[in-house]
Structure 1
């Protein structure tokens, strides 16, 4: 079966996105009329992974028929962060505060979105993006974020379940970061990049597909601002040593002693909040961490 056929099957197998409908009074978050009105809202289900079956690995070198902008300036972020970006197709003025922020953190190979959901309420003013190549997994995270946002919007203002930001600062996109990361982000746009429990590609002939290689590090250094941090976490010692070796050998990455990040809540979330990280915890396995700070540009 071709890859395209697999993707079509996966898309059809994804579970239903709504469970029921209610009529309620909501203030739309679009750029239309801001007055409250009676609207019919589909209640979104919290997605279940069993409805989003997907192979664990994807060939990053084949054509996945992905959509990506020609340059970061052509990227329309309004679909992913409607609170922060106006729809360019709507002939209305942007709301106050829109089109000002930029995505600052990227979780490359975000899987089922555990890190994004953990960090979103901790840093509600920071825009975070998950990048995932697998179609059904991306759809799962998309549905998870949509359901969580809706749940937050329907909570009473005094509810203790409401969190600051209401997950409007987090989103996911289906993309191949190994090929197109510079199509989404400008030079020095990101302050944090995460590579958590990436595919180890154990076979020698497959190691060229690893997410950390000398050639790719130049791409990551381009989009990561000086002083920004690149996080790596894995339960495979060989992969940890591979990533650390190449990062140490690159002139634009400076290793950060683990003791310096010992109390960093971001690193703690990176170690524990992903599905893979939780699986390692249950199996009492080891986790290997290596973090690097982006060095200043030579011309600076």
Structure 2
């Protein structure tokens, strides 16, 4: 008689099975459960490049790796962590990542954007381990299911703490769009410093987003919506996009309906608050 497995063992066995190259069934969320939110100020033992030029994107977007003859030599100063000093050869891509979904959750927006932006590299950033693994497995299966059409090669996910390390991954003006969908509202006043939109973080978004680029926000919490609008409108490098232009942007409809949180709000007949902010041109001195 076999030993009965507990829930943790079942999850581990399921995830190990999902790593096989012949898996064509979509991952099931119940095997990737963890807490709804993570403390962004905690030490999560994350791996990150000290500079965007030292980030190796090849494992995330293998279909976009540049030919070998155009690859750079190993950079003796390149490291993957602050402690590690082994030289790293960074494989370059044929194009840069241009769209970031901050706090991508279970990847609904990423999957919906993939066919809408087939020539654009889209990256989901998620701090929770199990959720990141779910999105990674989901994308792998979709790629296998669409090998002939090569669909979903343009989307990927990365475990990262955006509040700490956004400039480590993206160069100045690299992004054309940032999505911030249903972020943790952190209702208590003492927790407001953990909100993903703030005076300091908005300056980092202004650094990463090119002039004319858009930051998309959506929430079902009126107070948080007001907070995000207030902080972006107060920032000198952003202006709010008008309602007519906002509603004419196809990404807005996708953002409203493709994410898991958006669907949950819809089921509960809640209201969704949307605001877009355009990155202004750099001032001339």
Q: Matches of 1:246 and 1:179 in 2, distance apart?
A: 19
Instruction: State the match for 1:207 in structure 2.
Output: 192
Correspondence 1:39-78 to 2 at 5 A: 41-78=21-58
Instruction: State the match for 2:138 in structure 1.
Output: 144
Listed one character per residue, the Cα deviations across residues 62-112 of structure 1 (whole Å, up to 9, x for unaligned) are 10000000000000000000011259xxxx4469xx732000000000000
Q: Matches of 1:244 and 1:19 in 2, distance apart?
A: 41
Q: Say if 1:112 and 1:294 are closer, same or farther in 2 by CA, change over 3 A.
A: same
Q: Matches of 1:181 and 1:42 in 2, distance apart?
A: 34
Q: Matches of 1:63 and 1:10 in 2, distance apart?
A: 26
Q: Select which of 163, 166, 180 maps to 1:195.
A: 180
- Answer yes or no: is the 8 Å Cα contact 1:14–1:51 preserved in 2: no
- Answer yes or no: is the 8 Å Cα contact 2:213–2:278 preserved in 1: yes
1:125 aligns with 2:99: no
- Answer yes or no: is the 8 Å Cα contact 1:11–1:136 preserved in 2: no
Listed one character per residue, the Cα deviations across residues 216-263 of structure 1 (whole Å, up to 9, x for unaligned) are 111010000000000000000000000000000000001001221213
TM-score, with structure 2 as normaliser: 0.85
Q: Matches of 1:20 and 1:111 in 2, distance apart?
A: 20
Q: Say if 1:10 and 1:189 are closer, same or farther in 2 by CA, change over 3 A.
A: farther
Instruction: State the match for 1:15 in structure 2.
Output: 14
Show structure 1 runs of 5+ residues with no match: 1-8, 22-40
Instruction: State the match for 1:106 in structure 2.
Output: 100
Q: Matches of 1:130 and 1:45 in 2, distance apart?
A: 21
- Answer yes or no: is the 8 Å Cα contact 2:124–2:156 preserved in 1: yes
Q: Say if 1:169 and 1:211 are closer, same or farther in 2 by CA, change over 3 A.
A: same
Q: Select which of 246, 264, 285 maps to 2:270.
A: 285
TM-score, with structure 1 as normaliser: 0.81
Q: Secondary structure at the match of 2:63?
A: coil
Listed one character per residue, the Cα deviations across residues 185-210 of structure 1 (whole Å, up to 9, x for unaligned) are 00000000000000000001000000
Q: Select which of 108, 115, 123 maps to 2:109.
A: 115
Q: Matches of 2:97 and 2:18 in 1, distance apart?
A: 32
Q: Select which of 245, 248, 253 maps to 2:238.
A: 253
Instruction: State the match for 2:251 in structure 1.
Output: 266
Q: Matches of 1:48 and 1:138 in 2, distance apart?
A: 13
Supply the RMSD in Å over aligned alpha carbons: 2.2
- Answer yes or no: is the 8 Å Cα contact 2:163–2:196 preserved in 1: yes
Number of residue pairs aligned between Structure 1 and Structure 2: 258
Instruction: State the match for 1:236 in structure 2.
Output: 221
Instruction: State the match for 1:27 in structure 2.
Output: none
Show structure 2 runs of 5+ residues with no match: 1-7, 72-91
Q: Say if 1:20 and 1:102 are closer, same or farther in 2 by CA, change over 3 A.
A: closer
